[in-house]
């Protein structure tokens, strides 16, 4: 029995202010970054003292990277101990998982020059598509079946939001090993008129808590054992 037989309601509609409310379980389109095993950085070539015509090459990061090996570039606000990193990204649907950051208005004058202290950002779960067939990249069907019974602690299954030809939400896998933080403006620009139903959100939050802490609730452990047992019987 897959998890979809227990979570009867995965998705729910949203109110008119969904672009600005940032509630747990809200869905967004956002640029998600790939995870390269070795970072590539932009290396400045043909240095221009005026910085009016900066030229870079993309090279593999070295032990000297991020340690002051290059000059600071004032025109782009790059310190000597910082690097421009070349990382591929892809637009995917993400699920908002965190609460709103704490902001104390009474000390705002004291942190006005440190705006990132009160930055509005959220932790989100990127969703990766499931592509059937050998000619398309994606999760093999045998892996998807095991994800559906919670055999992978880093994955969580999401069914399509409807049986229409072009649903708002396609069949997907949430990758807990790709959790990413997004600025609220990035999310607001890609808000989807859909959110997770409380039934789904409850199970997902328990699954995320277990993944991040290594401690799963008894109910979650029992559920996983029951689902896994039924897969092989």
Going residue by residue through the chain, which has 233 residues, state the pLDDT in tens, using 9 for 90 and above: 889 998 989 999 998 889 999 999 999 999 999 999 999 999 999 999 999 999 999 999 999 999 999 999 999 999 999 999 999 999 999 999 999 998 888 887 777 666 677 788 999 999 999 876 555 678 888 999 999 999 999 999 999 998 877 788 999 999 999 999 999 999 999 999 999 999 999 999 999 999 999 999 999 999 999 898 877 76
Neighbouring residues of 168: CB distance < 8 A, sequence distance ≥ 6: 27, 161, 162, 192, 193, 194
Q: Is the pTM of this model over 0.75?
A: yes
HEC assignment per residue over 166-224: CCCCCCEEEEHHHCEEEEHHHHHHCEEEEEECHHHHHHHHHHHHHHHHCCCCHHHHHHH
So what's the pLDDT on residue 133?
58
**Strand arrangement, sheet containing 40-45:** 55-60, 40-45, 85-86
User: Could you give the C-alpha distances from 173 to 51, 95, 189, 229, 231, in angstroms and in order?
Assistant: 44, 11, 23, 22, 19
Measured at the CA of 26, the angle between CA 25 and CA 32, to 5 degrees, comes to: 100
Sign of the alpha-carbon dihedral angle for 75, 79, 83, 88: negative
Tell me, what DSSP letter sits at residue 100? P
Q: Alpha-carbon distance 166 to 132, whole Å?
A: 16
Residue boundaries of the structural domains of the chain:
3-35+89-231, 40-86
Q: How far apart, in whole angstroms, are the C-alpha atoms of residue 213 and residue 216?
A: 8
User: So what's the pLDDT on residue 162?
Assistant: 86
């Amino acid at each position: 029995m897959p998890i979809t037989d227990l979570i009867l309601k995965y998705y729910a509609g949203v109110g008119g202010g969904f672009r600005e409310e940032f509630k747990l379980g809200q869905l967004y389109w956002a640029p998600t970054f790939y995870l390269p095993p070795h970072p590539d950085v932009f290396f400045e070539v043909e240095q221009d003292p005026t910085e009016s015509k900066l030229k870079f090459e993309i090279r593999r990061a070295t032990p000297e990277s991020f340690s002051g090996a290059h000059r600071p570039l004032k025109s782009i606000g790059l310190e000597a101990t910082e690097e421009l990193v070349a990382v591929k990204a892809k637009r995917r649907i993400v699920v908002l998982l965190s609460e709103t950051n704490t902001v104390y208005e009474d000390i705002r004058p004291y942190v006005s020059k440190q705006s990132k202290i009160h930055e509005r950002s959220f932790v989100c779960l990127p969703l990766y598509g499931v592509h059937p067939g050998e000619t398309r990249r994606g999760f093999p069907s045998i892996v998807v079946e095991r994800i559906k019974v919670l055999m992978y602690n880093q994955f969580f299954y999401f069914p399509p939001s409807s049986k229409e030809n072009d649903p708002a939400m396609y069949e997907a896998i949430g990758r807990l090993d790709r959790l990413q933080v997004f600025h609220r403006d990035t999310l607001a620009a890609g808000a989807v008129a859909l959110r997770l139903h409380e039934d789904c959100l409850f199970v997902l939050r328990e699954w995320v808590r277990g993944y991040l802490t290594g401690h799963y609730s008894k109910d979650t452990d029992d559920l996983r054992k029951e689902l896994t047992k039924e897969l092989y019987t």
